[in-house]
Every structure is written in C-alpha cells, then in structure tokens.
Amino acid sequence: MKKKLVVVGNGMAPGRMLEHLFELSPDGFDVTVFNAEPRVNYNRLMLSPVLSGEKTYEDIITHDDAWYEQQGITLHKGSKISRIDRGAKTVTSDNGITASYDTLIVATGSNPFIIPLPGKDLEGVLTYRDLDDVEKMLCAARAGGRAVVIGGGLLGLEAAAGLRQQGMEVTVLHLMPSLMERQLDPAAGYLLEKAFADRGIDVITKANTHEIVGKDGQVAGVKLDNGTVIDAAIVVMAVGIRPGIDLAKESGLDVNRGILVGDDMQTSDPAIYALGECVEHRSQVYGLVAPLYEMAVTIAENLCGNKAAYTGSVTATKLKVTGIDLYSAGDFAEAEDRQEIVLRDATAGVYKRLVLKDDRIIGAVLYGETSDGPWFFDLLKKQTDISDMRETLIFGQAYQGGSPLDPMAAVAALPDDAEICGCNGVCKSKISNAIVGKNLNSLDDVRAHTKASASCGSCTGLVEQLLSLALGEAYNPAAVQPMCGCTELGHDDVRRLIVAKQLKTIPAVMQELEWKTSCGCAKCRPALNYYLVCDWPDEYADDYQSRFINERVHANIQKDGTYSVVPRMWGGVTSSKELRAIADTVDKFDIPMVKVTGGQRIDLLGIRKEDLPAVWGDLGKAGFVSGQAYAKGLRTVKTCVGTDWCRFGTQDSTGLGIRIEKFMWGSWTPAKVKMAVSGCPRNCSEATCKDVGIICVDSGFEIHFAGAAGLDIKGTEILGMVKTEDEALEHVVALVQMYREQGRYLERIYKWSRRIGYDEVRRQIMDDADKRKAYFERFVFSQKFAQVDPWSERVSGKDKHEFQPMATLSLEAAE
C-alpha cells in the first residue's frame, strides 16, 4: 500500500523535493499537491527576466502538466489550504477539497512584507513575488509613467531594472545609505548605484517613505519624510519577505519567525515536515534557493527512511540584471581581527574585495567581473587556508600556481567537490561523471540529468567548460548557432534582446549586443533589418543599404546583371487590358523573355536596370503594382476558379484568395511566403504544399500550413477548420504574424513550425482566441506602414541614384 503524501504549496522547494523523492522511490508514494497559484511549478528565480522581457512564462516552467501526470501526482491548482486537521490527518482547501495524509509537507513559502504606510491599500501598490505580480507590473508598464520601487535590495533592484527596460521611468527608494547593504559593502553599493543611474534609474538612499499618496483610490505618488513628493503610476514594495506561517500556527505547530524544524526537517508534529522559505531552522530563515534545495533533498531522503540531516547553509548572492555582474558571499563587515584585500579598476568598473580572518576567506564581494565567485565561495565554505596564495588571491584562480590565464585551465584545476551550481548544489564531479557516464553532449542534457545551471543560469559558462573538458572537440559550445561571424548570439537571442532592450536601429543593436565588426556583414544586416522592421513597424526607418539587391531595387537580379519584373495579379486573375499593357511594355523595351510562373504570374525577364523605372511607369499606368516576387514577404496567393466556374467548387476560392492577397501584400516576413486557396479537396491550386493553404469544403475552410515544394518537399499540416471567410482570414493572418515575430531570418514556415512544434502553433492560433486576435491586430497595425507600392514610389523619383550611372566617361577622357 502506497503512503499518502500531501504537499501544501508548489514552489521551487517542493518541486525539487518531489523530483528527488521519485528518483529514490518511484512507486512508494501517492502524492497530492495543493497550489494556491493557478498554475504549474515555475522557476521563481527567473521572474526578473520575465519582467524585463528577456524570457516568457513558458520559458521558466520547471514542471509542466505532463510531468505531474507522468509521476501520477494529483495537482490541485488554485486551491489554497485553509485547514489542517491533525487529529484526523486531513487537509481542506478553501474551495472545498479535502485530502487525507500519512505524511504532510507544509511549504507555504513566504509573503512579501508590506510596510504599514498610509495608502498601502491603494490600487497600484504592488509586490514582487509571483507571476501575478509580474503581470500586473507589465500591464502598468504598458501604460507608461513612473514606477517607484521601495526597497533597494536584490528583489527591488531587479524589479527596477525590469520596469525600466519595459520603458517606465523608475525611482528606487532605499532606507539605508547604500544599496543591497546586506550583501554588499558601501563601495560596491556605490558602483551599483552608478550603474543604475547610467540606465536612467533614479536611486534615492536614506529615503524614509512617509506615505503613499492616492487620488480616486489609485496611487498618485510617494511622499518622503523630508516632504519630497515623487509622482508615481505604480509603487512596488520590495522590502523583504516574511515566512508564511499562518496555516501552521492555526494548526498548532510550533512557530517563531518561521515554522520551527529540527535537522530532520520535522515540525513539532512528527507526521508533518516543513520546507522552504516558511521554515526556521537553527534560528535561520532562508530566502535564497540553494538552502531550500538542500532542505528538499533532506526531506526526500527522510521520507524514504534514510536518516538525513540538514545542518544549515552558507549562501552566496548574484544579482540577475543583464549587464550588471555582482556576486557576494559570506560576511564582510569590518572588525579588528579581520583583514581585507581590495582590487579596484575604475576604467573597467571592477571592484573586488575579500575579507579574511585567520588566513581564511569569510566574505567576498565581486563587482564587474564575477567569474571567480564560485572559486572564492568554495574556499570560503571549506575554510581553506589561503596563506600560500595570499599575494595573488584577489586576481583569482587563474593566477594561482603560475597556471595560464585560461578559463579552461581554471575549471580543470577546480577540485572535484567544488560547487559549480550554487542554486542546485551541484559539484564538479557530479557534472563530469554524468557527462561521461550518461554520454551527455549538450547543455540541455546536463541540465536534465544534474540540474546544474537549470535555475538562475549564471553558472552556464562553467558547465559548458566542463562539457568541453570532458568531450574536447566533440562538444560544440555554440549549441546555439550564431547568426554570423559578427556575433556569438543566435537569431532567437538577438530577436529577444531587440525587444527587451528596445533596440530600434542597426547601430544600436550592434553596439548593445557587442557586434564584433564595425558594420556587420551581408548575413546579419538583412536579418537585423527585417527584425527591426517587424518589431517596430511604426518607428524603424528601413535601412536600404542592408537589403539584398532584389529588395533594394524591387526586381530580381539575373545571372547577367539584368533584372526580371513580375507585376502583381491578384489571385492569379488578369484581363485583356492588363495583358495588352504587358505586351506593349515588352515591345517598347525589347524585353527578351516573357514567362508564366508557378505562382500564376507573368515574369518579364532581361530588363536593364536603367530601364526599370520606365517599365514600372508603363505597367503602373495599367494599374499594376509590384508583385514582390523578389521579397522575403508575401509573394503569391494561387487560386482555382471555385464556385464561379467549377462544377465541383464549394466556396468562392478565387474571391478568398484575392481578399487574402489584398489584405497581406507588402508585408515583410522572415522568408518568402506563398499561399494558395483551393475550392474543393481536388486541390487544383496545390494548397497542400504551400507555406499556408486553404482547402474549401462544404462546411467551411480547412486551413493548412508548413508545406514545402522546393529544396524540400513536404505536405502541409492541418491547422484546423473554420466556418466563415472572415475567420479563415483572421486565422491565416494571425499565423503569419506569429511566424513574423518568431521566425529566424530566411527560415521558411515549415522549418519554423517544425522547430517550435506544430501543436504549439495550433494551440496559439486555434485554441487561444485572445492570442490570435492580438497577433491579428499587430499585423494590421504593421500593414499601415507596409502597404506602399514600391514601384510607383520609384517612378516618382525615389532612390533615383540607384538606377543611373554616376558618370559616363567619354572616350577622350579614357585615353
């Protein structure tokens, strides 16, 4: 008979406990989890990157629904436990679910501390604790204005940086004289304050908040004790956390600041354990993840009868703000019996300080350059005697023993039990052994098997070096393929950072993302230009010189340097008037070849560049616009004759094709987009090998996507069925917009959707109406700036220089 285990709370600590428990005893327990939040387990450490826009909620999920199902865990989301009946051994949630337990784990976490100020209950006073808080902040950021963050500790500063990146004005109020005073000494606090000022964030220290000023129940500002009033659209309180002990207290468990536990993690009731931030152990309460994970492992071991003990933790802190490197560990107050070693490099913005006592490190603060953090922390935890290397200690591990300044050598030199991943308590040998023993060859593999670098990710570099050491050449550290030789970043990172850092020009991208070349190359420039056009349709000024020649001159270059021109024929339908105009143009300019294309268009080949504007002028008079046959954009919508003529046609496929083409022409996409609409399943327009296709049937429209008929041949996937033309248009447009926002430059729809998963596309476009509508809206907005006929612009004189020689030298001058 399985033992019944009930867990109250579903944060990171119980998540880790369950993982470990199922490793030890896959079938020993029947587990029920109650989560007050309406979602699965996610990585709370990564809330700051979600706030800053560098990650999404989906990126930070630790255990998805499938995981709970696989492990046979019953998860009650949105169910807060309101009562523990210790006599009957049951718990009851506020939405009426009762579960009985043999063993109970209380992991109620912590609550943000709200300073009891006048105005604390006003609308717009937020805390920073869970995803709901982040969503509220993001919502406020969209409205703009100023955010006042009360509290200059770890959380407050991460919130401030995130809100700033989301475009808000930000002021940080901090009661103490310097930022993060619990983790940093005043010098590092000063550097940090300066770094925040450089980002346009106001920091006011020694700021005592008097009250939060409101207007109509809404936050309007913050008043300080000295009378200063700062306007604010939102106020974020990040002054600390309090262990969540209410439930334990009401149930009669022994509590002090937190729920009291012994080294075995048991509370005063032997059937009940406590875990996480709600715990008080040996008078310590922890708010960082590493100790919580150690507690989690202890409980899992004890549940399986392996007498384990938790004896407390030394902790290290890292600030997770992109571009600011900060590491601190231990104790660094000054005292008589302590010495310090300090290294400053003002130009490089580096500050390092080690606090020593009896030739042992007891504290370390690193700012600007933190790669030696884990090494110092290791020396600190082991209380290693450093007298032999004292002279060069501050320069870091690479300087010791005359070893070369090579990061690989530094990692190689680490002892087997050196801690690599502080969050998850994973040491070097565990990682190295897993790589060899389990044939791991990627970062993701290591994360899956050891958890190293799977939480905050700041030790990713070290883990990669261990992979290189173990695998040598076989390990390709750039599992992410860089965009080109100008950067180490892959396309996805660049796209994410363009949005997160609000980069709106190519020089800004190259500067902020540290491009290695002065002005890029022929690979990255067109890609960046596309990403910027897509992400900032109204603000970005297209960089003409970063477009491939075809998009620059709106025609297709041929092998002999002449061009081909394809006028748009909506849905592949033309008329005698149009054909006559084409015939006249062909005669007038002596165009050598006229060819019908696979996309139901007419291609005029062999036109000299100088003639292009005149050719377009003549075609334009007949009503033609550019067919964009050269564009990474919407090319053609191929149609059949549908109900107009065909005895099998079920819908007006021609009309729908033309409607889609008129709606979507001019849009730029990561790679070309070809579509088709067929009027019946006989599929004469070959919609099932297109990027997007529609098959009309009696009952409506079957939407297809991700086909290919070029280098690769692939039938489409079915997106879903809709009933009306309007719906068909909305779904198709939303799908293309999703692709525009996520696709890598030159990646066709079939490759993009295979990469992210066909089901994911269906989920966002078919199942999530809000998402679909938002995609649709963004496409419509961007079309306002995209639907300009490039041919008529050039006929009117735009980019004239492009089509004329700069000079034609006479023969006399040449001799």
Partner 1 sequence: MNALTENWVAIGAVSDIPRRGSRCVKNGDTTIAIFRTVDDHIYALEDKCPHKKGPLSQGIVHDGCVTCPLHNWVISLETGQAQGADEGGTLSFGVKLEGDSILLDIGGAR
Interface with partner 1 by CB under 8 A: which residues? 517-522, 525-526, 544-546, 548-550, 553, 557, 559, 561, 801, 805-809, 811, 813-815
Query: Are 98 and 58 within 8 A, CB to CB?
Result: no
Nearest-approach distance from CB 310 to partner 1, in angstroms: 58
Query: CA 235, CA 229: separation in Å to the nearest integer?
Result: 13
Based on CB atoms, which residue is closest to partner 1, 66 or 806?
806
R_g of the chain computed on alpha carbons:
32
Sign of CA pseudo-dihedral 601, 604, 605, 608? negative
Nearest-approach distance from CB 547 to partner 1, in angstroms: 8
Query: Are 665 and 628 within 8 A, CB to CB?
Result: yes
Alpha-helical runs (H) found in 627-703: 642-645, 653-664
Nearest-approach distance from CB 620 to partner 1, in angstroms: 23
Nearest-approach distance from CB 809 to partner 1, in angstroms: 5
Based on CB atoms, which residue is closest to partner 1, 454 or 528?
528
Based on CB atoms, which residue is closest to partner 1, 518 or 576?
518
Based on CB atoms, which residue is closest to partner 1, 419 or 551?
551
Nearest-approach distance from CB 616 to partner 1, in angstroms: 18
Which of 346, 73, 115, 108 lies closest to 249 in space, CA to CA? 108
Nearest-approach distance from CB 628 to partner 1, in angstroms: 18
Query: CA 233, CA 592: separation in Å to the nearest integer?
Result: 66
Based on CB atoms, which residue is closest to partner 1, 346 or 811?
811
Based on CB atoms, which residue is closest to partner 1, 57 or 548?
548
Nearest-approach distance from CB 813 to partner 1, in angstroms: 5
Query: CA 330, CA 635: separation in Å to the nearest integer?
Result: 62
Match 């006073």 to its residue by tokens.
Answer: 125
CA 368 to chain centre: 24
| CA trace torsion 186, 188, 193, 199 (10° rounding) | 180
Which of 754, 685, 696, 691 lies closest to 723 in space, CA to CA? 696
Query: CA 110, CA 60: separation in Å to the nearest integer?
Result: 20
Based on CB atoms, which residue is closest to partner 1, 474 or 809?
809
Query: Are 355 and 394 within 8 A, CB to CB?
Result: no
Sign of CA pseudo-dihedral 603, 606, 609, 612? negative
Q: What is the DSSP string of 2-22?
A: PEEEEEE--SHHHHHHHHHHH
Nearest-approach distance from CB 615 to partner 1, in angstroms: 18
Which of 6, 2, 25, 26 lies closest to 76 in space, CA to CA? 6
Query: CA 364, CA 369: separation in Å to the nearest integer?
Result: 12
Q: What is the DSSP string of 157-187?
A: HHHHHHHHHTT-EEEEE-SSSSTTTTTS-HH
Based on CB atoms, which residue is closest to partner 1, 347 or 518?
518
361 contact partners, CB below 8 Å, separation of at least 6: 330, 354, 355, 376, 379, 380, 384, 386
Nearest-approach distance from CB 552 to partner 1, in angstroms: 8
Based on CB atoms, which residue is closest to partner 1, 713 or 809?
809
Nearest-approach distance from CB 704 to partner 1, in angstroms: 33
In Å, what is the CA distance from 539 to each residue of 53, 133, 365, 504, 532?
Answer: 19, 30, 42, 8, 9
759 contact partners, CB below 8 Å, separation of at least 6: none
Based on CB atoms, which residue is closest to partner 1, 338 or 523?
523
Nearest-approach distance from CB 711 to partner 1, in angstroms: 16
Match 């270059």 to its residue by tokens.
Answer: 557
Nearest-approach distance from CB 520 to partner 1, in angstroms: 6
Based on CB atoms, which residue is closest to partner 1, 405 or 519?
519
Based on CB atoms, which residue is closest to partner 1, 347 or 810?
810
